[in-house]
Amino acid sequence: MPTSSDLLLLRDKLRVFAEARDWDQFHSPKNLSMALMVEVAELMEHFQWLTEAQSVNLAEEKKRPVEEELADVLLYLVRISDKLGVDLLKAALDKLEKNAVKYPADLVRGSAKKYSEY
């Protein structure tokens, strides 16, 4: 699992990468969030038309492109969080705790229902 220092290192590398290309001018939260959605769509494209079993057991030649799309998604998430001053790891851990309350394991185990349906 990534640590705060891992995400900070990634954030800093992204800052340097964007600054070297003079891309910071384009990296508003609005633009980054739209770019993020494009990358998520590209990730989804790899799973389109696969069966559940195929999606769980990706062929090796499909795995590398999926890894690259996952990396793109992570990079945009880190960049957006940097622009907004959000500690992404803390936000994710806080959200996990909130979800644990919304979805108590003994109540929701094995169910895909939304918390409001219980």
Q: Output the tens digit of pLDDT for each of the chain's 118 residues.
A: 767 899 999 999 999 999 999 999 999 999 999 999 999 999 999 999 999 999 999 989 999 999 999 999 999 999 999 999 999 999 999 999 999 999 999 999 998 888 788 7
Q: pTM of this prediction?
A: 0.89
Give yes or no for a contact between 107 and 118, defined as CB atoms under 8 angstroms apart: yes
Amino acid type, 34: M
Give which of 84, 94, 80 is closest to 37, Cα–Cα. Answer: 80
Measured distance CA(45)–CA(43) in Å, rounded: 5
**Domain layout of the chain by residue ranges:** 4-85
Amino acid type, 12: D
Give yes or no for a contact between 32 and 80, defined as CB atoms under 8 angstroms apart: yes
Residue with tokens 């609005």: 30
The domain defined by 4-85 folds into: Helix Hairpins (1.10.287)
Reduce the DSSP state of residue 28 to 3 states and report it: coil
Reduce the DSSP state of residue 22 to 3 states and report it: coil
